[in-house]
Structure 1
Amino acid sequence: MFDHAFSGFRLRGLELRNRLVSLPAGTSLVEGGLPTSGDVEHVERLAEGGVGLIITGAAVVHPSSYPRGGKLVAAYLEEVVPPMRHKAEAAHRHGAFMIGQLVHLGREGIGAEADVPSVAPSAVRTARDAYPPHVLTSDEIRDQVDAWGLSARHLERAGLDGVEIHAAHGYLVAQFMSSATNLRTDEHGGDLAGRLRFLDEVIDAIRRETGPDFVLGVRLSAEEEVSGGTGIDHCLLVAEHLAARGDVDYLSITHGTRGSYVKDSTGPDAVAVESAARVRAATGLPVLVGQRIRDAGTADTVVRTGKADLVGMARALIADPELPAKSRDSRLDEVRSCIGVNQDCRAFDPHLHCAVNAEVGRGRHPGLTTPIDRPREVHVVGAGPAGLEAARVAALRGHRVTLYEAATSTGGALRLAAAAPHRAALLDVVDHLEREVRRLRVDVHLGAPISRDDLVEIHGIADDVVLATGAVPGPAPDAAAGRRVLSVEDVLAGAPVPVGRGTALVYDESDGFWPVFNAAESLARSGWSVHVATALTACAPRVPHESQGPLLTRLASGGARVTIGHRLEASGDGWALAPVFGGPPVGVEPDLVVWHRDRAVTDSFGSAGLVRIGDCVAPRRIGHAIADGYRVGASLGLTRS
């Protein structure tokens, strides 16, 4: 299966075992610019999972790249060699090769927050920084070039097989190449040859400082996807220039800039493949392509059709490092898919996590490698993501697990959220967990509500009882007394609404996360004119950054109105929006009101002998529910027989 994706490939002197590449994804498992043991473990899991090549998360080449310090690997430090050697050894030990990505963030370094300016070829401010950057002098440019060479030498000494120059996503090298951000009139500006000079000098420095077998790649954005940004024609010119040099081993093709290059589940998959195909045809160089490629089948098609030579994945391998091995061995039903929500892998709170893989950033729980003395009778009440994960992990450890769910299907609130436009990928979590619990022979009872009396009976036969009954919509607001007000859950569940179509006012009394926008987009799809209002001073502040732009674009293109900084109040027989910071209320006349409040915990089971997980502890996100279930499932029986 997938013979093309799992065929070998020669990259300079490296004989890759397959065409699958782990793309750069920082973990923030770094202290003082040096990788920690957790970062090494992350690499080891990727290599064990069967990927052919691992490209590390970007390492900065100069102190000016990331003046806040700490959470990015500092390749310019001599001290980086030993811990990076541990990472390289972890990859090699399991048959993978490793390339280190090098980067300077340039104006995207957000330097002003650290009391030092960011740096760039010209004083063109990024929207992410409050101040324009410092313009690099000619002497400073020479210092920067030397830093790239030094950083590459450190990684070669650490045993890495090559480096990749990050010349994409609007970082320093890309800033030099673009006429929108490089306004210089000296030798490092002007025409394309001048704007490419910095990249040429960086390549020269790396080649001087490293040996002849050291692999060198360059990552390019084929489409920056911003006003005034570069596009495919510019990318082809740069790629042809690099091919003509004769010392670049591969090109990695991506789309976007900082804030847009991590595509969420609302857009298409494999967005950069056609761009990669054009670069490959124009240059003859080996081409790597990634960006929301989530499965080996897509990778196989890309290679088979000649679109690219290597296929990269980042979040798909974070979600399941064993994706290559499972796909190679025809165990596709066991693959845990990335759902593209960007809630945990992009938050770095405090480091890399994953909504569907609780081991990311936390490591493998010791319970998964500790033999059990005897199988325990484990009963789990509730088959949302927390309950499913607890059942899966407990069964994986060898316990006898029974799972009860009051509804006739698994998934809980997640299944409801997946009914919203653009959110169907959420069902991948549920489908994977349900397949796993059945594969592991969990005894699943659907349509089986559990009462307090039932729980007493269960206690008589179970060693452990895990409660994962979720949360409920918050109570109706006082302003809704005597009025028909729907909850977000009502809308997603298809509650009857007034005949005809008119204006639907969707009010967010919560935190600006997805639920209110799930309802808004559902109503818009049904033909309603949507007005979103919130007392918050921003729209969708809790929606992940990379999803905010697409979400607000969809709302605007659908004609939705957005009002921030206003509370919804009853006003006579109607409604009014009252400014949070003072001023007279403004009357509104919606035909339908949807009021979103924080979800609430209801508990009629008491506490004796119960382990609670997920939203019935406190309403939170998918990743928290999965992590709770994983932790409890892995720890059952560790401290008592």
Structure 2
Amino acid sequence: MTTLPTLFSPITIRNLQIRNRILSTGHDTTLPTAFVPNDALVAYHRARAAGGAGLIVMQVAGVHETARYTSHLLMATTDECIPGYARVADAVHAHGCALFGQLFHPGREIMESQDGTLPVAYAPSAVPNERFHVTPRPLSLRMIDEIIAGYAAAARRLERAGLDGVELVASHGYLPAQFLNPRVNLRQDRYGGDDLARRRFIDDVITAIRAATGPDFIVGMRISGDEKDEEGLDADDVMAALVAFDGRFDYYNITAGTSAGIGSAINIAPPMMVAPGHTAPLSAAIRARVTTPVFVAGRINQPQDAERILASGAADMVGMTRAMICDPDMPAKARDGRLDDIRACIACNQACIGHFHMGYPISCIQHPETGRELTYGALVPAERPRRVLVAGGGPAGMKAAAIAAARGHEVILCEAGRQLGGQALLAQTLPGRAEFGGIVTNLAREMTLAGVDVRLNQPVTRALIDEIAADAVVIATGARPRAGHVEGAETGHVVNPWQVLRNEVNVGASVLIADWSLDWIGMGLAEKLARDGCRVRLVVDGYMPGQRIHQYVRDHWAGVLHDLGVEVIAYARLYGVDERTVYCQHATSGAAMVFEDVDTLITNLGHERVTTLEDELAETAIETHVIGDALTPRTAEEAVFEGLKVGVAV
């Protein structure tokens, strides 16, 4: 019996009853090939429909040739898209889930071209954006007519494919929002000059879609309730537009932010330092003023939070997209009251939108099966149960143990320390990173459900392997901080990040962080120590701090460090130290860079793998598998994925 009655009550939109209030919002998966839905995309959405989602909104589909904002979006400009969409619809509907598509034109928000040359972007006016540094070409009236017709034709194709509805994407500063925005739309013709004229584009689009589709076909609009940018639409602008459009759309899907601004783009997929459900006040204010049903999305990763938002009257449906990227079965688990079994999203952004920004298919650091459903969608039971010993209780070892046990093996996991988690235990101690510890909780629960025998304070040796009589050994013993060679280190106070995070050293009042890793460690330490009152200089051996982490996390952190007064120096390669003076070289010119009055030098120089057990077993006939940082130091994403792969293979 569910303890979430509002979340699991049905809702009717137009003439369609949706089984619950859980929505997977439109998000780019980078799975499609040739601009149409393929087997991988069908399998991806099938998994979430089977897991109990009420409604899935597919990723954006371009409605005009000028809408190609990436090289891997869907296009709905020809009938070639219909068979692929029909296959997704059949797969989703077979599990009782509703399916909508998104209709899209980015306007000036072009990320990349199709061939590496700079594309021509089209917008209401020639107003550049900040994030992609695009200066668009103003749309002619003839092209506006073509694009409006493109929206209608695309909607008709998706209806023919069997989808239940479409969503006009006016969120995040894309083309419809650009027409609404008086700071972006400088036109003085029928599409600009006053509020009524600036709304005409959306008005003409919805009119054209209604004329092209049947009476039961649903048409909604996604829009940012506040673009949270100086040049963007504010809450009053959006409210006025939605009140004016009230009754024209079947629902409003409320989010926040704009793609156009470096600081506001974080709202597209807010990382863990942003409060869960932060957009609910926006949707609540809108819902109080309109009769149109209101959906909301914005880091709603727990069903309990979703229930509170719905029960408070802030929205009629909730977007829980990353929650289902992390755990496709989240709705079913929540419905059945198995809340402790849910693998909660930690909003790290590393393998979901992080993969998208690198051009790779979507996944999840906790659930690498996501995006790989065709390969890992169903576990194959082991033909012959074996005794598997896993050495190391970090993310790699825990995932390997859980998967191997779920396949029927007898699995013993030994962790030398008193706690599971490895480096995740350190990551969660930094400001704004506490949620990262959720990866430990979630993987530990997976092991419990699979029946893994976990032994803490138990190092693995050859003698233990013989005693247990293991058929296979998985080495996941992790890594330790790399010291590197720092000239004169014996004369200064030189420490590593682990010592600081474990409170094993006194860092003094003036700190220099020499950051080679360019990951969360350098920026996180800088924030922590600045908040503790230290003078902090973050010296990075690269062109920016956080160079190797997702841009939303990095950009947000850059603002935090700036406001805290942290001095950031780029292109600085650590050379040496002489008592309270640190010496670096400019990474490109080789010129000396000297930093004085340093009480403590913190060297974030990466990690080195722990090889003790691997070396001990090297000359034996014992079947061994080396994964995670023990293979070579990287991130939690690779560790968990390799745990999955070895758990399937062993």
TM-score normalised by L of structure 1: 0.95
1:497 is aligned to 2:506: yes
Once the two structures are superposed, the pairs formed by residues 29-40 of structure 1 within 5 Å of their partners are 29-40=31-42
State whether residues 467 and 612 of structure 1, in contact with CA within 8 Å, keep that contact through their aligned partners in structure 2.
yes
Moved more, 432-441 or 186-195: 432-441
Report the Cα distance in structure 2 between the residues aligned to 1:440 and 1:369, rounded to whole angstroms: 12
Q: Note the C-alpha offset of 1:440.
A: 2.5
Choose the corresponding residue for 1:481, options 489, 511, 525. 489
2:360 match: 350
1:556-635 pair list within 5 angstroms: 556-570=562-576, 572-573=578-579, 574-580=581-587, 581-605=589-613, 606=615, 607=618, 608=620, 609-635=623-649
| Equivalent residue number for residue 411 of structure 2 | 401
1:265 pairs with 266, 272, 278, which one? 272
State which of 552, 555, 558 in structure 1 corresponds to 2:558.
Answer: 552
CA contact (8 A) 2:352 2:362 kept: yes
Q: Is the 8 A contact 1:110 1:128 kept in 2?
A: no
TM superposition shift of 1:532? 0.4
- 8 Å CA contact 1:110, 1:118 repeated in 2: no
Distance 1:445 1:232 in 2: 54
Q: Which stretch shows the higher mean deviation, 582-591 or 382-391?
A: 582-591
Which residue is 1:195 aligned to?
A: 198
Aligned twin of 1:151:
154
1:173 is matched with which residue? 176
Q: CA RMSD in A?
A: 1.7
The equivalent of 1:448 in structure 2 is 458
Give me the whole-angstrom Cα distance separating, in 2, the residues matched to 1:577 and 1:188. Answer: 56
Instruction: Name the SS for the 2:289 alignment partner.
Output: helix
For residues 274-310 of structure 1, the C-alpha deviation after alignment (integer angstroms, 9 at most, x for no partner) is 1101111101210000110011111111111111111
Partners of 1:416 and 1:622 in 2: how far apart?
12
Query: In the alignment, which residue of structure 2 is the partner of 1:275?
Result: 282
Please tell me the residue identity of whatever aligns with 2:533: G
Deviates further, 384-393 or 427-436: 427-436
Q: CA deviation at 1:265?
A: 0.1
Q: CA deviation at 1:586?
A: 2.9
1:524 corresponds, among 530, 539, 544, to 530
2-side partners of 1:122 and 1:102: how far apart?
21
CA distance in 2, matches of 1:311, 1:144: 30
Deviation, structure 1 residue 480:
4.8
1:123 aligned partner: 126
Q: 2:18 is matched with which residue? A: 16
Matched pairs, number: 628
After superposition, give the CA deviation of every residue in 1:497-528 in whole Å (9 maximum; x if it has no partner).
Answer: 15xx4111111123x11111222222223221
Aligned counterpart, 1:540: 546
Where do residues 60-79 of structure 1 align in structure 2 (5 Å cutoff)? Answer: 60-66=62-68, 68-69=70-71, 71-79=72-80
Cα 1:367–1:306 shift into 2, 3 Å: closer
User: Closer, same or farther in 2 for the Cα pair 1:571/1:600, shift >3 Å?
Assistant: closer
Listed one character per residue, the Cα deviations across residues 408-428 of structure 1 (whole Å, up to 9, x for unaligned) are 000011111111111111111
CA contact (8 A) 1:480 1:570 kept: yes
| Counterparts in 2 of 1:304 and 1:140: CA distance versus 1, 3 Å | same
Secondary structure at the residue paired with 1:163?
A: strand
Equivalent pairs: percent with the same residue? 36
Secondary structure of the residue that 1:59 maps to in structure 2?
strand
1: CA distance between counterparts of 2:24 and 2:83? 22
- Counterpart-to-counterpart distance in 1, 2:386 and 2:514: 47
Render the CA deviation track for 1:419-448: whole Å, top value 9, x for unaligned: 111111111110111122123221110000
Paired with 1:540 and 1:602, the residues of 2 have a C-alpha distance of 25
Q: Deviations over 1:170-229 (max 9, x none)?
A: 111111110111111111111111111111111111111110100010111111111121
Aligned twin of 1:51:
53
Output the CA distance in 2 between the equivalents of 1:350 and 1:141. Answer: 32
* CA distance in structure 1 between the aligned counterparts of 2:510 and 2:132, rounded to whole angstroms: 38
Which segment drifts farther, 130-139 or 203-212? 130-139
Q: 1:572 Cα deviation (Å)?
A: 4.5
> Closer, same or farther in 2 for the Cα pair 1:289/1:366, shift >3 Å?
closer
Distance 2:593 2:286 in 1: 57
Q: Is the 8 A contact 2:40 2:374 kept in 1?
A: no
Describe the shift of the 1:583–1:207 C-alpha distance in structure 2 as closer, same or farther (beyond 3 A). Answer: same
Amino acid at match of 1:520: A
Equivalent of residue 475 in structure 2, options 449, 462, 467: 467
Q: CA deviation at 1:367?
A: 9.0
Q: Does 1:333 align with 2:347?
A: no
Contact 1:380 1:465 in 2 (8 A): yes
Write the letter of the residue equivalent to 2:638.
H
Kept after mapping to 1: 8 A contact 2:69/2:110: yes
Matched residue type, 1:318: I
For 2:236 and 2:608, the matched residues in 1 are separated by 53
Using the TM superposition, give the Cα deviation of residue 8 of structure 1 relative to its aligned residue in structure 2, in angstroms: 0.8
1:567 Cα deviation (Å)? 2.6
Instruction: Look up the match of 1:108.
Output: 109
Q: Which residue of 2 aligns with 1:639?
A: none
Does the 8 Å contact 2:108/2:134 carry over to 1?
A: no
Q: What are structure 2's unaligned runs of at least 5 residues? A: 260-264
Aligned partner of 2:138 among 112, 135, 144 = 135
Question: Do structure 1's residue 163 and structure 2's residue 170 form an aligned pair?
Answer: no
Instruction: Confirm or deny: 8 A CA contact 1:170 1:257 kept in the other structure.
Output: yes
> In the TM superposition, what is the alpha-carbon distance from 1:484 to its structure 2 partner?
2.5
TM-score (norm. length: structure 2): 0.94
SS of equivalent residue, structure 1 residue 585: strand
Partner of 1:313: 320
Alignment partners' CA distance in 2, 1:81 and 1:353: 26
- Aligned-partner Cα distance in 1 for 2:282–2:132: 30
2:596 maps to amino acid: V
Out of 193-202 and 603-612, give the one that drifted further. 603-612
What amino acid sits opposite 1:618 in the alignment?
T
Amino acid at match of 1:597: L
Q: Residues 452 and 19 (structure 1 numbering): CA distance in 2 closer, same or farther, change over 3 Å? A: same
Residues 368 and 397, structure 1, Cα contact 8 Å, conserved in 2: no
Instruction: Measure the CA separation in 1 of the matches of 2:557 and 2:578.
Output: 34
